[in-house]
Amino acid sequence: MAPDRSDGVASCACKGIRRCLICEEVKGKGQLEAKGSKIVHHFIYNPETRLAISRDAAAASFPFPGVFLLENFISEEEEEKLITSMDQDVWNESQSGRRKQDFGPKVNFKKRKVRVCGFSGLPALSQTLVLRMQQQPSLAGFQPVEQCNLDYHPQRGSAIDPHLDDSWLWGERLVTINMLSNTTLTMSLEQGLPELGLAEEVHVAVHLPRRSLVVLHGEARHRWKHAIHREDVQARRVCSTYRELAAEFLPGGQQAELGAQLLNIALSFQGTPI
């Protein structure tokens, strides 16, 4: 029952200001473009020094906390096995030219409600990967309760707009495995960094090699928005993002009982996409 597995472009799920190449053909680019000319300071993240380095030397480098990058987290063989398994399941159309598979509870973030019904856990192939994650000092005690697989393709104009992930249900660390192609994660701060003399918007490009793992936490998780721009998707790209629970759902929290139930399901590793 799986749809086209690599470049299905027949339909579009964009809403509001979201867009992809399919809806641009229908609506036209003019009505969708809302960009004005603005000054943006561009930096590149160096994972060895953990500094954001100015692209044009117009500004000084500065420490960029909250990003951990680990290259070759999975092997070529593991990548092939993971993608083959994903492509045997249905990819659902999502916004901005993406397709997705969700392994997690149904959530209404506006009403702050979580439904356990239908949630069967993370997929079986993730068990080994989660154990490997937990061996990293920055991921000690990491217990994911949700996994979201996203499929990007340049033929669909896939992208994801700058955003901050929810922090009511989802906890401190966001963990992503990048597969099939290299890409760039763009971190942005619209209000700039006045303390460094940067009053305009600041972008920090975090290059994600194929088969790498990236962790966002601290300021990179809660202060800086993150995005994948269309121009940074040059070939099919699939990623798996894992999220842990926030304090409210952990032992001692107001919804600890629900949190324990969710974790028990998630870590059974018997899941199918919902």
* C-beta of residue 129 within 8 angstroms of C-beta of residue 211: no
Longest CA pairwise span in the chain (Å): 55
pLDDT band at 176; cut points 50, 70, 90: very high
* Contact assessment for residue 50 and residue 68, using Cβ atoms and an 8 Å cutoff: no
Asked, for residue 145, whether it belongs to a domain, the answer is yes
pLDDT, position 10: 53
Rounded CA separation 106/258 (Å) = 13
Q: Give the model's confidence band at 60: pLDDT under 50 very low, under 70 low, under 90 confident, else very high.
A: confident
Identify the band that residue 238 occupies on the pLDDT scale cut at 50, 70 and 90: very high
- The percentage of residues in the chain with a pLDDT greater than 70, rounded to a whole number, is 91
Q: Is residue 225 part of a domain?
A: yes
Task: Note the pLDDT tens digit of each residue in 83-123.
Answer: 999 999 999 999 999 999 999 999 999 999 999 999 999 99
Q: How confident is the model at residue 236 (pLDDT cuts 50, 70, 90)?
A: very high
pLDDT tens digits for range 35-59: 557 889 999 999 999 999 998 766 7
- Check pLDDT > 80 for residue 11: no
Q: What is the CATH number of the domain that holds 175?
A: 2.60.120.590
Domain coverage including residue 174: 41-266
Name the pLDDT band for 16 (thresholds 50, 70, 90).
confident
Handedness of CA 90, 158, 163, 44 (dihedral sign): positive
Q: Looking at residues 12-35, what average pLDDT do you find? A: 69
pLDDT at res. 55: 87
The residues, any chain, with a CB within 8 Å of residue 153's CB and separated by 6 or more, are 6, 7, 9, 97, 233, 236, 237
What's the rounded Cα separation, in Å, for the pair 131 and 147?
15
User: So what's the pLDDT on residue 37?
Assistant: 72
Q: Is the pTM of this model over 0.85?
A: yes
Asked if residue 26 belongs to a domain, the reply is no
Q: So what's the pLDDT on residue 31? A: 47
Cα 237 from Cα 239, distance rounded (Å): 7
Please report the beta strands in the chain, taking only residues with DSSP state E, as ranges in sequence order.
40-46, 51-54, 62-63, 67-70, 92-93, 99-103, 106-108, 113-115, 144-152, 160-163, 170-179, 183-189, 201-208, 213-216, 225-228, 237-245
- Containing 260, the helix (H) or strand (E) segment is helix 256-266
Query: What's the Cα-to-Cα distance from 62 to each of 48, 193, 204, 244, rounded to whole Å?
Result: 13, 10, 11, 29
pLDDT value of position 58 = 66
Three-state DSSP state, 253: coil
Instruction: Specify the pLDDT at position 36.
Output: 55
* Tally of domains in the chain: 1
Look at residue 140 and tell me if it is in a domain.
Answer: yes
pLDDT in tens, 121-132: 999 999 999 999
Residue 3 in this model has a pLDDT that exceeds 60? no
In a domain, 273, yes or no: no
Asked whether residue 168 is assigned to any structural domain, the reply reads yes
79 is a domain residue = yes
pLDDT score for 4: 42
Range 141-164 average pLDDT: 97
- Please report whether residue 31 resides in a domain: no
Can you tell me which residue has the tokens 């033929």?
Answer: 155
